[in-house]
Structure formats: C-alpha cells, structure tokens
Structure 1
Amino acid sequence: MFDQSRINALPEAPPTDAGAPRVLDGVRVIDFTHFVAGPLATMTLADFGADVIKIESPGKGDDFRYYPPHDPELPAQGAPYLWTNRNKRSLGLDMKSPAGLAVAKALIESADVLVENFSTGVMERFGLDWETCRKLNPRLIYTSVSAYGRSGPYADRLGFDPVAQAESGFISMNGYPDRQGVRSGAAVMDTATAISATNAILLALLARAKDGKGQFVEVALFDTAILMTGFGAMQHLTTGYEPRRNGNTSPDTCPSGVFECQDMPFYINCGNDAIFVRLFEQVLERPDIAHDPVLSRRDARLAERERLFRIMEEEFAKHPWSHWQPRLRAAGVPSGEVRTLAQALASDEARSRGLVHRIPHPVKGWIPNVATPLRLSRTPAVPARAAPAVGADTQAILSEVLHFDEARIRELREAGAFGARSV
C-alpha cells in the first residue's frame, strides 16, 4: 500500500517552460524493454522529448510492474516500475499474433530508434531481428541491451545485475577483508548499463544526422560491469595488483573513511596532499601533523593510516557534527554525513536541487517522482508524466502514429492483435 499522506506532503514538481524546445522532439522510440537497464535508458530519451512507445503484452505487461511495493488501486504499477517508465506511452500488443506483429512492423517503419533487451533469440523468433528491421527502415537505430552480447559463446546466458556484479569482480572489491565481498544494494550495473545505452543511442542519432544511415547498437551488462570496476582494472593490468576489500577506507588515499563525532558518523575523503594539510591545519588545528615532512606525502600517509585515524577519532569525538561540518566546509575538505536513504531523500541538498517531488497520477492523484539528474538550460526535460497502465495509449498510438481509422482498429482487434483485453 502506498502511503498517500507521505506522498501528498511532497512538493509538486517545479514548473518547466512549456514553450521550450525539447532536444528529442520528433524522435520516435519503439521500446521492447523490461526490468531496469532497457526501460531506464528509454525513459531518459522520453524525459527530453522523444515519443517512447512501450510495447507490452496485453493485460500482463512488463514483469517489472509487479515488483513491490504495490497499491491495490494500481495492480500493475509497483513503485519500481513507476521509477523506470515515466513519460512513455504503452501499447498492449500480442506479438504472437500475425495481426499484432504487423502493427509492430508498421511502428518500426515509422520509428527512429528501437530498443530491446529480451533474451538472445527472442526478437529473431518474432521476425524482428536487426537484418529484418533494417530492411523495413534503413534509418533505424536498432539498440540491443543484453547480458553478455548478442554473439559469441555466452550470448545465450541470462544475466541480472547481481550476477554481473559477481562475475565482473565488482563484489570482490567491496566489503571488509575478513569476510566475503558484498554486492551493492542498488542496481548499479543496470543503472550504468542504461546510461551507456542512452549515450550509445544519442551517438548513433548524431551519426545518422551526418549520413542518414541507421545502425546496430549493442550494450552488454557484463561489459558495463567491467567498466564499473573503475581504475582497479587498469591497476591490475599494469602491475598484477588484485584490489582488496578495504571497507570504508581507500587503498589509494589517506585519510579517507568513516569517522564518528559525538552524534553521528560522517565520511572524509582526502584526495590529495593539499586537502590533508587543510584538514589538520584548519579543522583539527594540528599544524604539526599537517606539515610533518613525512605525513605531508600521500604515499607515506598510507603506511601511517592507523596512527592518523587514531588522532582523528580522538579529536572528532570531542564535538558534535554541528561543530565539525562548518569547519570542514570552510576548509574545503570533502566530507558528508553517512545517511540512510530516507535521510538523503529528505536532505537539504536533495531539496535544494529539486530531486524529489510529486507528479499527477490519473488514479492516485499524486505519486512520488525522482527527477532526472540531467539539467539543460535551453532544452530542458519535459514535465514529468506518470508511467502508463498496460495498454493505456493503444487507441491513441494506432490513430495518431499509424493513422488507422476505427474500421482498421476493429479489424485488428478481431484478429487478436491486442489479446483478450482489447482496445
């Protein structure tokens, strides 16, 4: 059950300039995606003006619709689904029927971009593989998001975010050295793959603007997960170094980690020598440490981490965060509270950036929304529109995009194009 009183207390989404140009106005995206990586990519395109048409099986729709929490009034619109599908339109289409497949092909002929993240072979079984679709529409940008790529010995493998975290080495790098590595609670690989897919699509649109040609675009979850191991991969490739689990400390900078003051934990990251000097001279008032000929050098500090941490812990324990936070900020020392998600979403930082608000919903009145982090001054994001119910826009898409009249729509309905739940 959604907590409607909590939702209604959120600020309304800030107004946007209705007359502002949208960078992806006129771009049509046919969205065959589900779960996270694909839908999050197409949502970003929708946020900036693309007409994203989500193709779903009639009645049931995307499996991600059923991830909790749910609300009885929204049986197929769980909170995770709402997070990845705003600003789209939904077309309920039975792809196993010849009539439904014909509608899909008509949409592809009219499209600029197709995005799919089915298991390998599904689009081929539908007869909607890249080679077929490029003949239907030579300008089409056909984007395939998969676990291990669409070719090679692992193309048949299914993959989800935690598996990619495990197989990429990401889990081995996170946690504490005296126990197994831990996965990230957030779907970081799915999110990063979505960002990569969006970037790839935009690059392909730029290429098409130059030569008028479409192309096949591929993004794989495992490939992205390797990238997400960060510069640890290059450290290993150049020296054989195997990244270790360091908990909340950093193997590369010191002092960096979680410290406790009188009333809360907080994180400090001393990324260079100058920050170290400011921390000990201006914040902790220990110029002897700040200008120590050995400790003022990063490499030497790594060997003295335990001693430095003891000094810092003793000093920070003397005062509350209200004392230390302004001093750290004034000295330019990167630092921040260790917050829960609830605290982060309600924080002054989130509020000042307008990151959390409420948007209208046709059933609930209001639902929460997490704003796009992308800010463009001249071509801003469109006003946020709630994710659609299954097939909510079928009639409009058929008439407005494909220009089908009522007789043609009735004929398709009778032929089973829209499944048991017709338009």
Structure 2
Amino acid sequence: MLEGIRVIEMATYIAAPGAGGILADWGAEVIKVEPLSGCPMRNFFRSVAADHLKGNPVFDLDNRGKRSVALNTATPEGVEAVKKLVKDADVFLTNVRPGGLERAGLDYESLKKVNPRLVYATVSGYGLTGPDRDRPGFDMAAFYARSGLGAITTPKGQEPAPLRTAVGDHTTSMATAAGILGALVERQRTNKGRLVEASLLRTGIYALGSDMAIQLKFGKLGSTKSRHESVNPIANFFQTSDGIWFTIIPRQGDVDWGAVSRAIGQPELIDDPRFKSSRDRRANAAEVVNILDDMFSTQPLEYWSEKLDEQDIVWAPLMPPADVAKDPQAEAAGAFFDVPENDGSGSFRAPATPIRFGGEGDDAHPRGPSPDLGQHTHDVLKGIGYSDDELEVLKKSGTIS
C-alpha cells in the first residue's frame, strides 16, 4: 500500500522506530540511520541481565523490514550524508532532541530547504516548544507519569505500578504513523511537505482524554477506587472458582444490572430496594461486590462464560500474555504473524501492526527481518551517488565503519 514511499528514520529506542516499523509493514521503504554504536535497543536483553537469550524480539518488532545505515552524524560528512538521503525521500522520522537537531542542521527548517516536499516527523518526550523541549522522556516518564495517566489509574491509597515495556511508546508510534499519513495525503494536493510533531506527553494526555475532558470541563475528577468502592460496582473484576479473573463492563443506565442478576440466578436482586437504581448500587457498592464475589466464586469460568453470553453482557477474561498467544480469536483477528530470522534459519511469531486491510492484494506483513547494524550502509550510500573512493574517505574520517 505504501510502495514507493521512502522513509529516512534517524531514531533510537521505540516510539519513533515503532512508527517506522508500521510504515515498513505497510510497504514503505524505511532506511534506518543508526549511530556507529547502534540503536541502544539492540542491547535490550543485555540491559536487563538477560543476554543469554537468543534473539531480540523487542528490537525486531519495530525494525523488521528496514535497511540499516550506520553513520556518525557528529561529523560534517555524516550530516551531509543524511541530507543527501533526505533529498529524494518522502519522510524524515526522528526522535533526536530538538536542540541537537538544530545544532546539527537537521531540524525541519534546514531540511525543508533540501527537500520542500519532505514530511518531517519528530517524536519527543515533551514537544518542540516550552521549557522541557530538550528534557529526555521515556514513556514511563512523559507518557505515563507526566500526563496524569499513571496517577488516575492508581487506585486511591495504593502505590503506583510501573507501565509495561513500551506501552506508551507504541501508542505514540500509532499516533505518529497516522500523522505522517495525514501529511502525505495533504502533499498530494499541495506538493509541499509539513512538520508532523508527536510527543509522548501529548499522546498520553489524549489516551487519558475522556477523563481529562471531565477535568478540563468541570475542574475535578473522581479517583480510581478499590473494587468495593467502585462508582458502578458491577464495572469490576471478579474471580471464578478456578481462579480466573474476568471483567464486566456494563452499558449506561440500568439494563445490565438486570442482566447480571439473571446471569447469577438471582433475578430478585433487580427490584431489591438496596440496588434498584444506579445511585442505590453506588451507595451499597460493597454489598453488591460481596454478593457477586460469592456467586462467581462458585463456578468455573466456562460456566460463567455461557451465563454471561446468554445475557449479552460485555465481559472478558483477564488473560496473561501466554494465553493470549494461544487465543484463537487473537489469531483470527490477525494479531500475529511470522517474521523471518535475520540469518535465514526460519521464522518466529511476533505481534502484527494494529490494522488489517481487506480487499485485493497482500495484507500488511513484514517485508523482511530486522537488519544487522550497518548492514546496508554501502549499498544505500552508493544508491544516492557515493563512489567507492568517497566511501573510503568516509570510513577514514570515522563517518562510517
């Protein structure tokens, strides 16, 4: 679908490379410009004291199907090479801090002079303006903690829990890919590029958007409560006799109170004056939860699955990733596919990009394995006009290895 679109990605870690990875799965040519030491995510398992594991699925997820060019952009020659790459590119994608890009002459204003049609996408922790524009910001900090998301999802009186690996990064990856595609659509009309600015902070605030809208409109917001203090006590988690937790998500109004009462075999609760209205159930939330806990703990999930589905209740089991990996519905939804090993030894399963495209032609899929560091440096630079002699000069200057 994106065949013919060339992306120059000068980015490390996850949020920006994740956006490049989505575009690569959708058919774009993505050239990953890395420092000579490589993207730090190449050493992910070493950094968590698990370097005995073979392969690096965390790096592979965001970099499959790309070509790697290793460049020292601290040299004038390295900066010039990036500008030559950008000259005929469609997209420049980076997460280098704004001040560093300006000092190197690789900021938007500089590169749009090289290529006025360039869509320039920048991903940062806190945005391109303001006092924190150059503050480093991983997703736990900028997306989760600073945005309000971490505070509001922590139940009142409890200690905050960390965000799992790259949840905020990949949310920002999706937002960035959408912004890039929007700018490419506009370019079809105007023949001009545009700056696309994504940040972990802004994406985190948008992810929290419904609650943040309440905060902005009314100046106050309810905290996240414990199970027995829930504003809507059936909007909760419950545990079955075989130890499996599941969640119920009731619709607005009173319709699902009747449905849940019938599912547990106690329709008399529908007209119980303690629980008759949503206000009554909120006032007696602990009693509601205790009744439901007692009932759901009497039977296994398989039993309750049938009862809940009979009442058309919105629910889902709390599944660990090991079970999700074997879930036939996740498979049917196209959530996984096979990625080739870099050494040609076979393939491995990995998460797919979040969108499936129907109709004629291939679905979104990996265009190849993740590249070795600098695997394509010489081929790519030759492709934009560098001769063997010029490449030797770059090597001697420490610009390439």
Task: Give TM-score scaled by structure 1 length.
Answer: 0.85
Of 306-315 and 206-215, more deviation after overlay is shown by 306-315
Contact preservation (8 Å) 1:258, 1:265:
yes
Residue 44 of structure 2 is matched in structure 1 by: 67
Deviation of 1:147 (Å): 1.2
**CA separation in 2, counterparts of 1:187 and 1:147?**
13
1:359 and 2:339 are equivalent in the alignment: yes
Residue 4 of structure 1 is matched in structure 2 by: none
Give secondary structure in 1 for the equivalent of 2:93. strand
Partner AA of 2:376 in structure 1? D
Residue 306 of structure 1 is matched in structure 2 by: 286
**CA separation in 2, counterparts of 1:181 and 1:73?**
30
**CA separation in 2, counterparts of 1:377 and 1:73?**
37
Deviation of 1:50 (Å): 0.8
Deviation of 1:126 (Å): 1.9
Contact preservation (8 Å) 2:8, 2:30:
yes
Deviation of 1:357 (Å): 4.2
Deviation of 1:420 (Å): 7.7
Aligned counterparts, 1:22-421, within 5 A: 22=1, 24-58=2-36, 60-68=37-45, 78-164=56-142, 165-247=144-226, 251=230, 253-263=232-242, 264-272=244-252, 273-281=254-262, 283-292=263-272, 295-363=275-343, 364-378=345-359, 380-399=363-382, 401-404=383-386, 408-416=387-395, 419=398
Aligned pairs, number: 392
Contact preservation (8 Å) 2:234, 2:288:
yes
Give secondary structure in 2 for the equivalent of 1:53. strand
Deviation of 1:110 (Å): 0.8
Q: Deviations over 1:248-279 (max 9, x none)?
A: 67955441111111102222221333233222
Contact preservation (8 Å) 2:340, 2:347:
yes
Contact preservation (8 Å) 2:15, 2:170:
yes
Contact preservation (8 Å) 1:254, 1:298:
no
Deviation of 1:247 (Å): 4.2
Deviation of 1:73 (Å): 9.4
Partner AA of 1:392 in structure 2? Q
**CA separation in 1, counterparts of 2:381 and 2:112?**
22
Partner AA of 2:201 in structure 1? F
Deviation of 1:173 (Å): 1.2
Measured at CA, do residues 250 and 387 of structure 1 come closer, stay the same or move farther in structure 2, by a change above 3 Å? farther
Measured at CA, do residues 132 and 189 of structure 1 come closer, stay the same or move farther in structure 2, by a change above 3 Å? same
Deviation of 1:293 (Å): 7.0
**CA separation in 2, counterparts of 1:297 and 1:171?**
31
Which ranges of structure 2 fall in alignment gaps of 5 or more residues? none
Give secondary structure in 1 for the equivalent of 2:78. helix
**CA separation in 2, counterparts of 1:417 and 1:93?**
13
Which ranges of structure 1 fall in alignment gaps of 5 or more residues? 1-21
Deviation of 1:84 (Å): 1.4
Of 78-87 and 356-365, more deviation after overlay is shown by 356-365
Contact preservation (8 Å) 1:173, 1:181:
no
Task: Give TM-score scaled by structure 2 length.
Answer: 0.90
Give secondary structure in 2 for the equivalent of 1:145. strand
Partner AA of 2:267 in structure 1? P
Partner AA of 2:15 in structure 1? A
Deviation of 1:334 (Å): 1.6
Query: Sequence identity of aligned pairs in percent?
Result: 29
Of 147-156 and 63-72, more deviation after overlay is shown by 63-72
Deviation of 1:418 (Å): 8.6
Partner AA of 1:61 in structure 2? G
Contact preservation (8 Å) 2:85, 2:384:
yes
Contact preservation (8 Å) 1:34, 1:62:
yes
Contact preservation (8 Å) 2:78, 2:399:
no
Contact preservation (8 Å) 2:236, 2:248:
yes
**CA separation in 1, counterparts of 2:111 and 2:105?**
9
Measured at CA, do residues 181 and 84 of structure 1 come closer, stay the same or move farther in structure 2, by a change above 3 Å? same
Measured at CA, do residues 271 and 250 of structure 1 come closer, stay the same or move farther in structure 2, by a change above 3 Å? farther
Of 110-119 and 181-190, more deviation after overlay is shown by 181-190
**CA separation in 2, counterparts of 1:175 and 1:132?**
43
Contact preservation (8 Å) 2:21, 2:61:
no
